[in-house]
Every structure is written in C-alpha cells, then in structure tokens.
Structure 1
Amino acid sequence: MRSWLATDPVAGTTVIFVPSGSVHTSADAYWRTVSAAVGGECADETNDGGSPFEAACIGIVSREGPVRLVLDDLPVVDGIENSVGELACRCPDLRIVVTGRVRGAWHRLGRPIPVTLIGPADLAFTSDETSTYLRSRGIEHDLRWAQWITRRTGGLAAIIDALGVEIEKQGADIGSLGDTFLTRTIDESIARVVSNDAMLVRLGPTVALAAAAVPLVPDLVATLPGVPDDMTLPTVLERLGVTEQLEATDAQWRYPDPVRESLLRNIDTTHHNDLRCARAAFVEYWLDHDCPHNALAIAIEGEDWHTVLDVVSEHWTTLYTSGFLASIDEALIDRIPEHVAQGHPTVDAIRRMHRRFATPRDVPVVAATPEAPPEDTAGPAEVMMRVITLRIEGALLDAAALCEDLAAAPVPAFDELDERIRHAYAFLYLHIGITYQLVDRADEATTMFRRAHRAGAGMFVERDAAGKLALMYAVRGACFDAQRWLDEEQRHPPLPSKESERLVRTAGMVAAALIAVDRLEPESALAMLTDLSSPTDREEYWAHVLYAVGQHALLAGIPAEGLRRIVHHLEHYPELHGEGSAAGPMLDAVRANLYLAIGEIDSARNLVGQSHHPQTVAARARMHLFAGEPDDAESLADQYWTNVRCSAREAVELSVIGAVAADTNGDRKRALQHLGRAVALSRQHGLQLPFALLEPSMVRRLATLGAPLPVKADRVADDLAVFRPILPAVRLTKQENDRAYRPGERRNDRGDRQA
C-alpha cells in the first residue's frame, strides 16, 4: 500500500493514510485512530454523547476538496464493514480504500455503495512484475526464471521479497544457483514469513500440520495437538494473514498453494510421524462425513497406499459416479508401488480403464503384455541420427521419408517399459514429431509429440514435447489447447545447462508470444520475443520465431520493422524454406499481411496471389477485400472455411473477411451468417486477433451487424488499427491511358495514373 501511494496514483486528491492497528483492538479504539488521522476530535462516548466514529465523520466532512481515505490492514471488529459503508454514504465525495487479511462481509454492502473487491489472486505478482522486482534489485535473470519463481511462490509479494533478499546476498546469477537452492530458499522464506507473529510461534508445528487438511475446516483441525479448546484455528490463521476463506458463505479455508506445499515439506522432515498421524485422522474425519473424495486425496498425498486401496475398495461406486477419479487416477496408475497394488481387483480395473479411455487415442494401448523390445536399439538410433543430420542440412523431405518406418512401428504401453527403454522411445518420437512439424505435417507431428510427452515423463522430453505441442496449437490459432500445453511446459524449471535450455525453450516461448498476440496483448508478446531474441543459425524453429515476430509487428503497428526482420533472416536460410518446408506458406502469409499493412497490395499479390495453400488463403482473401474486390474475398471465404486442411485461425479469419465482404455488397443477412460463425469459432478457441486484422471502418461496421463481438470494436479500431485504409489503383485500358495521359504526369510500372 505504501509503495502504491508513493506513485501518487490519485493526483490532486488529499490522501489520508491510516496504518495498521492492533489485531485485538476495539471498534471505538480504531475509530479514534481514524479520527485523529483525519484531524477530527478524539471523541468518545462520554463527551457530549458523541462517539469516535462520529468524530471521524465530522473530521472528513470538514475537509475541503476530494479526499481518499486509506484504511490499511483493517482490524477484525464486528460490524466494521457496516461502519465503513455508513461513512461512505454520509460522505458521498469520499473514496475509501480498505485492505485486510480477512474476507469479511464486504459483499453484503452493494448498492447504494459501489464496492470493488480485489482478492489475493489479483494482488499477486505476475511474471512481468516479478521480473521488474528482480531487476530493481539488480538480479540478473531471464524471463523463464521470473515465470518459475512466480509459479513456485504463487506471486506472493512477501515471499518474493524475502527470496530476492537471499539471492542478492549470494551475489550470483539465478541460473547458477539452480532450482534446488531456490526451492530451499523459498521454503526458508515462507517459514520466516509465517512465523512472524507471537501467536504462530506459540502454535508451533500445529500450523504446518493443519496444511495437510484440504479443505481446512474448524472441526477437522480442532483435535490437532497444541490447539486450545477455545480457539477456532482457521479463523485465527486468517486474521494473521496465513490462510484465506474459500467463499464468504462457507466455513472453509485454505493455505495458498506454495505456502501449503512448503509447510508440508518442512514438517515432513522435522515431524514425520506427527504428520502421518494427522493425515490418518483427517482421512477418518472425511470418511465419517461421507466425503471419500477428500479422504482419498489426503491418503494419496501422504502416499499411504494401503489406506488408498481400502478407500477405493469400500467407496468405489461413490468415487466413480462422481467423476472424482478423472482427476486423480493418474496417481493410481503411476504412484502406487507395484508390490502393493498387484492383484488388487479394483486397482487393476481402474488401470485397464485408464489405459483404454484416459490415454490419448493417438497413443495406442497394448491390451496384452507386449513383447519386450529388442535390447539392440542401434538400428532406430542410427536412423534417427541420420534424420537429424538431414534436417540440419535442410533436406527436410528426405528426413521425413526416413521417419516413416519408425513412426509406423507398433507402440508399446510406456508404463510397462524399463525406464531406459521408455526414455529412448521418448527421444525417438520427439524427433519424429519435430521432423513432421518442419515439413507441414501437423496432425502426424501432434501424434508424435503426444507420444513423446507420455514416454518422456520425468525427463526433459516431457517439457520439450509439451512446448512443441503448445506451438503446434498456437500456430493453428487454437489458443485454449495451446495454453493448456504451455501451462504443462512451464511447470518445469529451466534446465541446469544454459546451452540445453536454449535448445528446448524456443517452442514454448514462441507459443506464449503467439497466444498473447491472439489475445490482443502486444506487450506480453514483446516481452517473450525480446527475451528469445533473433533466431540463430542452429535454431530449427527459426521460421516460427519469425512468424511470431511478424504477427506481433502487425498487432503493434510496426509492419515495416516486421518485414525488415523477416526478409533479413530469409536471406540467411535460403535452403530451409523450399519444397515441403512449413516455413514457406507460414512466412508468405504473414509477409503478405505485413505488405497490406503498409499499403503495398501488389507486393502481397506477388507473394500469395497464385497460392492455394490453406495457410495463405486468408491473406489472399484480405488482399481482395482491401483491393476493392469483395466478391472475390467472399468467394474464397465460402470455398475454404470448410476445408479440413484449414486451421481454426484460417476459419475465423475467413469468416470475418466474408462478413465484411458481404456487408460491402449490401447483403447483411449473409454478413451476419459469416460473423456468427466467426464469433462462435472465436469463443471455442479463444482467438481474437482476426477481428483486428481489418481496416478501422470495417471493424466498426462489424459491430453494427448485431452479433456480440469477442473484442471491443472501439479499442480495436482506435488503439490497434492494424491496417490503414488503402485506395486501390485505378486500372485503365490502353486506349484510356493514351487519352488520359498528359505531359508531366507520372505513371507507375504498370502504366497506371498516379495522383
């Protein structure tokens, strides 16, 4: 709060700051503090029948000019919310900012008092804010470390600050410290922050033991050792800022995830038996309350596998019919030791169901026990080394041809393989996927990456495959799918070796940049692209990097800069964008759009005018639309939007262009049909960029058709304005040119008149 006020966020307004008071204060004592801060009389109930609250109201009313009252760390006092609401009603020009550790009853105020509630998640640092904080301390880092720290700390500012202090003491680059050091330091920082109150110190390990209870309810933790009979532990922890209430109407609390995980790691080391006993008591509590879901989750987290099997056996029907196993059956598959689960009929049934239904369809399941793979893997290994060599040389089609037999071979059940063999399969499928991705065989590449991700569990391939899947979906405009795989990729820490990290990070970072562009967030995309920098000669995903650069340049209004960067790098990779390469149509499409953005329709026509590739068709349709040829634009939209080779990106772009083209021709019914399709696809995939890839007047016309756009038309037309209006050149016949030409008049290279 002090940092916010230091930025003078409400210039021209008198800000009255009331600092934190005692947690155990009374209402009158608190309002006396407020009255003194606003310059009122420090009244009490014995003076002329007044009260400290009345004195505070009088003091504020007597102030001249606009006033903003900041009540920092509001104490927990019965009815304090109503008093603040009454103060706002009696002083209509007053604006009040309240911070507190307790959710309170603010949701009950509402009208006539406008109330905006900001929860802990909104106050947490974003990755960009973490990065800014680290830079302010002079700590060298790249964006991925900022993302990793934000995830591991939940963005909690106090923990990030404590971590920053420790990193600064080391005087080293974050990358050289490594994730093990940082995790230990985060745990130590959380332990210090959590134990900064005398009450928490008196409770001792009880605070950490309570973290094993999910969710945290008063009756559940009342029996923990060290909890006084008259104490409601969750409410005490909330008042001290350690936990938060799930909903204002529910008597359930939770620790922030990073705090909870850290407390459990520490208590498991120092009080392992106490933690085991507490978990056993929590399991019994939830079983007694007919909640086997919660009991099973606690047993799995504690790796109490015999209890897990007992709960599953006894409550199988409840668990299965409620769908709870959909989120935890992976634990039953991968975590229960084989010697414990072997022969257990229910677990065997779950495992069979999981392999049959939960495994992606493009990862075949072997029903019977597969034959052991041959020990000699030199054959496939040698072939794959040859594939990688051909890719490096630019012979992408030859590399893909070598992959055919490898990709067609039977796929084993990965969880039944020796770890060494499983990892070999992961590496194999990863590189088949890369090869197919680079030759524009997207569906087959997706299949290979999904196999690699599953086989590569526990090694870097798991992260690498997730990043490449995110990129596959991001290029197609399937933002929701791309974000899901990006979240999976980002849960892994950076690799210890900077060289290895550079090799695997590109796909995920490009995916993140494309997702940001597709959501109309150019600043977020720029942060990713800046951290990634220009592609090197060894970067296989150079074309994808340049594609993201071009897409960002369009959205950011710097098309000429985007063109310069792409053209410059194309000169360095002449052999990598020839026949069969995904680079050709992908970069042609974005370059055509960049040419249109600077008004060069003919240059765009030279690039994609004769192309029939699905990735370039939207640029062709847009070219016709801007050239004053709406019939041709709508014809392409009708012809291609149902083409199965077109991705979500092309389908949405074509539908948007078709809507404008039909409206230009006066057919509003057809225009609304096109637009309705575009809006539905946009909501399905989370794709907003196509609605910005128009001239401003066209965006405004879309807004008048009656369909609810997924973007704000005024913002897109005024603030983004990707394409400026283009006046197409007037084409004259030879006779018209001869008659119309006058001495001194200039002509372009096509013989058209130029004003």
Structure 2
Amino acid sequence: MDRNSPITVIRAPQGFGKLDLVRSWLDTARSDFRAVLWIPAPTGAPDSEAFWTTVMDRIRTAGVIAGETNPDGDATSAAESVREFLARSGAPVLLVLVRVDLVRDDRIEEEILHLLDRCHNVNIVATTCGRSLFGDPIRVEPTHELILTRDLLYTREDARELFAHSEIELEPGELEYILERVGSLPALMRVAVVVAKTLPDLAGRRALLAHRLDNAIDRYVHSTVLARLSVDADRNFVIAVASARVITPDVATLLTGVDDAARRLESLESAGIVNHCETAFEDAWEFAPAIRDRLIAAQESVGIQPAQNLTKLARHSLERGDVAGGLAYAAEARDWDLAIDLIDTHWVGLVGSHLTVLRAVLRVVPEERLASRPAIKAGRDLFTALDTQSTIPESVLPDDPRDVETSGAAPAAEHALAVGCVQALMLRLAGEHERAAELTRRLSHLVRGALDARPDEIGPQLPGMRLQWGITYQLAGAFPESTVELRLAHRGALAQRIRVGARHAAGNSAMNWAVVGEPGRATEWLELEDAHPDPDGWLEPRAKVGGLVARTLVAVDRLDFTAAAAWLDELGEASGREELWPFVTYAHGRFALAAGQAHAGMAVLQRAIASHAAVLRPGSTIDLVLTALEVDLRLALGEGNRALSVLSTQTPDEPILAATAARARLLTGAPAAALALCRKFDWFSYPFTRTQLEALLVEAAAHRALGENAAATRAWQRAAAIADRAGLVSTLATVPRELLAALDAAAANPSSTARVLLASDAPEMYPAAVHHVDLTARERAVLAELAVGLSTVEMARKLFVSTNTIKSQLRSLYRKIGAHSRDEALEIAYRTGLID
C-alpha cells in the first residue's frame, strides 16, 4: 500500500481485517494526503447516483474545497459533480470506499476509473467481498494494486507481534497451534487473543486452550457467518457445502441437491461468506479452514451425517481421477476401509506425486487396521523413521543372494518384501538410483524364495512390483535388467487383466529399446501399448511418459520430424515431479540435434537439470547420459571449448561418454585421440546400439582424416551393418554427408540406410570441424585478469612479469582467438567458453 497507487483494491470475505489493514496503514504511513475521506459501506443496495451523492456529502462535510459557492457547476450527475469538485480542488485526497461492491449499478466501476483519469490528485482504496467489481485486474493495470485473501492472513511473525502487543506470554508450541487452528484468519486471531488472555497457568492448559478456542470459533461462526444469512434454506446450504474443501457448483449440487448452486455460491461470495479460489481452473469457492471445521461440527444439528458427506466427496473425487483428494476425504470421514484400499492400490503414485497427503493419512490410520496390510504398515513405519533422521535406513536383507532367497520361505518374508519395496521406492525418489537398484536385486531373490513357499500370497503383487523394479533399473541405467522386469510385469498384468499396468509396462519397455537404439523392437512394444486404452484421470500422464519418449525417439531415428515434434508436444518438458525426467530431456535433446535446433535442446536441458538438481547424482548413469547430451549439443553449436570443458569434469570410463568424447576430439582436430577413445571398449558387448554405431562412425571418420582409407572402409562396413539392421537413419547424420557418401561408395555393399539419409534433406548434426583454442597456462592467466578489468601494468605487477611480456602474451592471445581488441577478446572468450 505504500506504493500509493491510484487505486488499491482489497478483496476478501468478511473477517479478513480489510478495514483494520487500511487504518493501521494510515496510522503508520507518512501520508501526504490533505484529506482522507471514509465512505461507509452502502445500505439498501443503492444505485450509482445515490452512492456518489453520499460521496459528495462527505466531501462537503470534510471541507475539502473551502469557499466554493457553486460546486456542482454544470454537472449532470452526482458522479460528474464529484469528479469536477475534486479536479478543481487539486488537493491530495484519499477516498476509502468501504464495500463499494454493494452498489448495485453496472456503471460504478467505470465511474471510479473515470474519476481517477480526471483527478490525478485522488487516490482510492476500495474494499470488496466479491468479484462484481474489479474482478478483471487487466482492465485497470498497471494503475492499481490488488490485495487478496491470501495476502491478509497472519504470518508467524505477525502473530508473534500481535500477542506481544497484547502482553500475552504463550507457552512453547501454543502460537503454532493457534495459527493452525484458526487458519491465520485475522478475525479469529483477535478471538484467539481474547481466549489466551484468560488462560490460567496450569497443567491442562493446552486442552483448555483447545476447548475455549473451539467454543469461541463456534460463537464467531454462528454470530458472524450464519447470522448474516436471511433464510434457513441458505443456512442449511452453507452448512452442507462446508464438507468440501473446494466447492464447485457440481460439488454443491452433489451435497445439497439444489439446481442453482452456482448462483447461491456467487451470492455467498458477495456476502463475504465464502472466498473465490483464485487459482482454480473452474469457478470454485472455499471457506477459511477454521470456519469449515465448525460448520462441519454443526451439520448433525440440521440432520446431516458428516461422515456420509465426506465419503460421498471421496468417491466423487475418485470418479474425477483425483485419488489424493479422495484419500484425504476418506481419512477425514474415518472411512478406513476406503482409505486403506486407496493406499494399497495407488501407493506408488501417491508416493511419487502426493507424498504429503499420503504421510498425513498414514499417521492417523488406526494401528489395528494395518495388521493385515504389511506393505502399508511398512510405509508408515518408514515415514515415521524419516521424520527423525535425514537418511533412508539401510535394508535389513542379507547381502548374499542365496541367503536372501532362503529367507523368502520364512513367514516374515512378506513383511520384509513390503519394507524393501517401500525403501527402494524412497531411495529412487531421493535420486539414489544405484542404491535402489541394488536393493531391488535382493528383493527379486526374496520373491523367488517366497514364490516357492507361498505363490498364492505373492503372485498377485508381482506385476505392480515388477513394473516398479523395471523403472528403478531404467533410472539406474541397467537396461537389460529393466527390460526383463518390464516384460514379466507386462505378462503378469495381462494374466491378471490389469490393463493400465500392462500398458504402462509396454510403454516403458518401448522406451528402453528406443533409448538404446533399437527402433524396431521399440515399435513392437508400442503396438502392445496401443492394444490397451489410455488410462483415465491422474494416472494418464505417468503411464504414458515412457511410450511418448519411445515414439519420439523412433520418429527421430526414422527422420519423421513432423511426427517427432507432435509426440514431443504431447510429452512436454518434464515437470519437477516427473521421475522419468532424464529420458524426457534426452528425447528433446535427440530431436534438437537431428532437426538442427541445438539452441532449443540446450535450453530444455539446462532447465531440466536446474529443476532436478536435488536428485541428480554426480557420476551416476543419468549424469553421464546428460553430460554426453550437453557435449553433443555444444558441438552442434560450434562451442568446442565449452564441450571440452564439460568433458574435463568427467573421466570417460563409460562407453556412452567415451563415444561423445571421441567425437569431440575428432571435431576439434585430434583424430588420433578420437581413435584411442574408440578402441578403449568392447563395443559389441555394450547394450547401446546407437552408441556402438556412433563410435564406429567416429572411428571411420578419424581413419579417413589420418589417410587410413582401408581402415576407414572396414569401420564403415561394421557401422553400416548395424544401421541397416536397426534402422538408425538419423544417427548417420552425425558425420558429414560428403564423408558418408565417400565411405559408402568405397564399400563392397552399399548401405540402404545411408541411401535413405543421403536422399533426405535432414541436416547434418555437427559442423565438419568445431573451432576451439588451446591456450597456454600463461595466456589463460592473462585472459582471466583481462576479464576482471586489470590494465597491462596491473597485470604485469600481479603476475610478476614485465609489461612487455604481458603485451607479447596479449598479442599471442588475440591472434589465437581472432580478436583485435580487449572487448572483442572478452566477447569471443565468453561465447566460446574460454571464460565461464
């Protein structure tokens, strides 16, 4: 409010302290206003003329214009009179328009804005409850401030100051309890002050505080909320819809059976009883949490069973695909059978996307209800452990696979399996993919032993477990193990007719094959995925990610950039909650390289890494894959020095990074170094077909650069065999077309894949050569000092050499990077990565 904008609109329901905020601001702010005119809330729903007549009367009473004999002049309306009056005065005036939304006239908003346009000496603060006025901020931007409900809630510091000002000393934890209980609502905070002042200092103080606070909130709800309603029908409607946390017209109709729910909710909003949800995708309203609680407590008095309404809302949420919402309502209804069934069926998705809701519900489920649900009990026990320690406990399973398999026959095996599955999932969500994979390997041995002993108990759980194990192995880079588990998960889900599980497993299997560079096998699994309908509701995005990544990569491999772009558009960039974000990002990067859009690919990569930094472990397979992708994108952009700088932070001991490092050496003019890297691994035992092909292409190009044509032809023939078998057309674009044509012409059997690429207009992924500069240690030191702005004399002094030496090194530096001045040298250095 200190910005003194021409108009400040404070929009919130009753009880949020709108007028208190204005008064406290005027008391504390250094105001330059000559007059502050309070226009009280209108009564009787006046029209515009009556409202502005009241304003005019206040202006006259306040003596804003002394000695004016004919203030009205030629004005034809009260609104115009006010404008002319204030414009003639020129004196700074603040108009405080209380509940101006009670004026029932469509002209009022336009007249207020016209007043501001005409009278630059006038500022307005307007309070409203509904959105009938200034509901569209765009109309008056940028000349206004909008203060909403959330802006008026008490913070912890606000609350501490309030109690300190009232000279109330609270016991430890009481401030936090009060804030949670009253929902930080200003009116209820004042009620809490009155309650706290009368609390005796005794052992049962907390229970007494809770009792008195609930009674005080009850009195507030009946005297301030329900008392404002004119008829019993409205009261019953308000009490009934309070069951819902977020009230849409459909939900209100479900709970009350009325046909005009939307109109009633809008009326309640205008009366300041409910608040419109500003962030909802559809019209929706809500009560302050403390008021909702007491309205629910009043439901039995009007013949409503609260638990029945809450269970009805839980099932309604499930019908809309909102499992987390359904779980929260089921727990509030204490419908433990429904809550436990939801956790049992959807625990993986809840852990991945709604962990806060899951933990809250698990804390309140009665212990005796979990006796027959060891997996859920294990989850609760683990979450409880995580509340008291920062790391995930180590598994209690033995290290030796034979011992694990033997323990699977024991009666405690089912409990151990439940605990292990939860631990593995938690490790995975924390980014500890290798630890999760290692634990999963032991769990598979445990299952083997348990299946022999109790197949009927373990069998039904297997498809879901194997699906999660397959995803764990994917994220750990263990693609062969992942493929096995996903195939078994698909087969088991089909046998049990779990269609969403079968579709999910098929899509992720397709992604495995597409990532390693086997588009034909990926297509087979995509056809299996298509055999099942799209999953409904909240599961749809999660279950479709693997298949969409696979479809994108297959389309890129086949040079179908139109289809790839369409699949990428549906896939989107990975959200912060998406576990498969590395593969989503990889798909974007591969498309960007193949389509000649490296800048866009780099932007997606950088955003993904920044938003998932907490779960990206240095040296992990995912880290290596993304590092290789960054280097490839840098090379495509011609940033040789940046590419080599990125590689310098890693040791190319893994094939996927070694192939990229070999390409970087080749493109920056070191074919012998590229060959050495290519020969470092047994590529034919490596599961990444695409990486094998890329390494052979680099090898062929390096031999050709060294004049070793026969060796180049042999490397090309091996590469062509892989490309033709797998159908990896786009990968051939990693070498120049001219070189590809020459290699294929020299081969005994021309490549069909090469012929497809050469006939297409697909761009080359990389320049034939990428510029880079090798600077001496002294030149790098001089460049670093140049970047901080030191003069030649200052550099000489700092580096302990003569000025002539510095000048000589600067000339050498400029010549190497192609610069002619200090500014040009710095621009080139930053652009090419010589300076970070």
- Name the TM-score class by shorter chain: 0.3 to 0.5
**Higher Cα Rg, which structure:** 2
Please, what TM-score do these two structures have when normalized by structure 1? 0.47
Give TM-score scaled by structure 2 length.
Answer: 0.42
